Amino acid sequence: MTLKTTPTFGLIIIGDEIMSGKRQDKHMPKVIELLSERGLSLSWADYVGDSPERITATLQRAFASADVVFSCGGIGATPDDHTRQCAARALGVPLVLHPQAKLLIQERMQDVAKEQGLPYEPDRDDNVHRLNMGVFPEGADIIANPYNKIPGFSCQGSGGGAVHFVPGFPVMAWPMVASVLDARYAAHFHQNAWLEKSVIVLGSMEATLTPLMESVEAAHPGVKVFSLPSVDHPQWGRHIELGVKGAPEQADKAYLDLRQGLKVFDVQYGPEMVR
C-alpha cells in the first residue's frame, strides 16, 4: 500500500442479534460517515451471525485481501463471543494475553471497585475471567477504548491489509474506528477528490435511458453513471435519479453529456443534486 494508492475499506458486522432483527445495525451508516468526513469511502460490508465457522471464513477472506477492514462485535468473553478465537484461527496463530491489554483491564477493574466502594481483588474468579477480554491473536496491536479502557485489537493480514476489531457497542466502537483512521490512514485522507451530480428524471423508464447511460460511461473512462429508481417518493412519485460520479473535472464533463443526451427524450426534470 503506497501513499498514491487509497486503500479499499470494508466492514464486518457480527452478531445473531443483527441477523434476527432483534437489533438494527447502526455501524454501517456511521462508518460511512466517518470515512466520508475524511475523503474515503466504504466499498463492501458483510453481516455474519455468531457462527464460528462463518466468522472464521469471513475473516480469512479479509486477511487474504489488501483491504482495510473494521470488524464490529463479538470480542467479549461470554460463550457467544467468538471473534477473537476466529481471528486467531483465520491467521493460524495462537491466542495470547496481550500485556498492555492486561494492564488496561486491571485498571478498569480497579476503577469499578473504587466506584463501588469495594476492595480490588484481582484473584477473584470473575476478575480473572475478565482478563480473557485481552486475549488476542499473537502479534496483535491494541486499539484504545476511551469509554471503559477495555481495548480492541488490530491484526495484519497476509494480503497486505489489516482487520481492526472493535466492540459491538456504538459508544465504544465509533470513537475507536475514528482513532484508527486518524492514527494509521491519515496519509490517504482527501487524496482523491470525488464529485457526484444527478438530476431527478420524471416520465421515463430505466430501460429507455440505458443506452444513454452506456454511451456516457463509455465516453468518460473512470466515471460511473448511475440510476436510482423510485416508485413511491412522497414528493416526486415515480421517478429516476440519474447521475454520474467520479473525479470532479471528468464528472462535470460527463454530466454535461448526460444532460445533453436527455434532451431527445420526452421527460420532465426535478431538482439537480451535487454531492
**Looking at residue 5, what is its pLDDT?**
81
| Mean pLDDT value across residues 122-145 | 96
| CA angle (87, 91, 95) in 5-degree steps | 60
- Please, which pLDDT band fits residue 103 given cuts at 50, 70 and 90? very high
* 224-262 pLDDT per residue, tens: 999 999 998 888 889 999 999 988 899 999 999 999 999
Residues 146 and 83 grouped into a single domain: yes
Residues 83 and 216 grouped into a single domain: no
Edge-to-edge strands of the sheet including 9-14? 42-48, 9-14, 68-72, 162-166, 152-156, 141-143
Q: Provide the β-strand partners of residue 44.
A: 10
Residues 207 and 156 grouped into a single domain: no
Q: Give me the domain span that covers residue 125.
A: 9-188
Residues 234 and 168 grouped into a single domain: no
Instruction: Out of 156, 172, 188, pick the residue that ends a domain.
Output: 188
Give the contacts of 158 (CB within 8 A, at least 6 positions apart).
Answer: 63, 64
Whole-structure pTM value? 0.83
Residues 109 and 241 grouped into a single domain: no
In whole angstroms, give the CA distance from residue 177 to residue 169.
12
**Looking at residue 1, what is its pLDDT?**
39
* 30-89 pLDDT per residue, tens: 999 999 999 999 999 999 999 999 999 999 999 999 999 999 999 999 999 999 999 999
* 161-215 pLDDT per residue, tens: 999 999 999 999 999 999 999 999 999 998 877 889 999 999 899 999 999 999 9
**Looking at residue 2, what is its pLDDT?**
39
**Looking at residue 4, what is its pLDDT?**
54
Q: Give residue for cell 497476509.
A: 158
Q: Which of 1-10, 46-55, 62-71, 109-118 has the lowest mean pLDDT?
A: 1-10
In a domain, 3, yes or no: no
In a domain, 2, yes or no: no
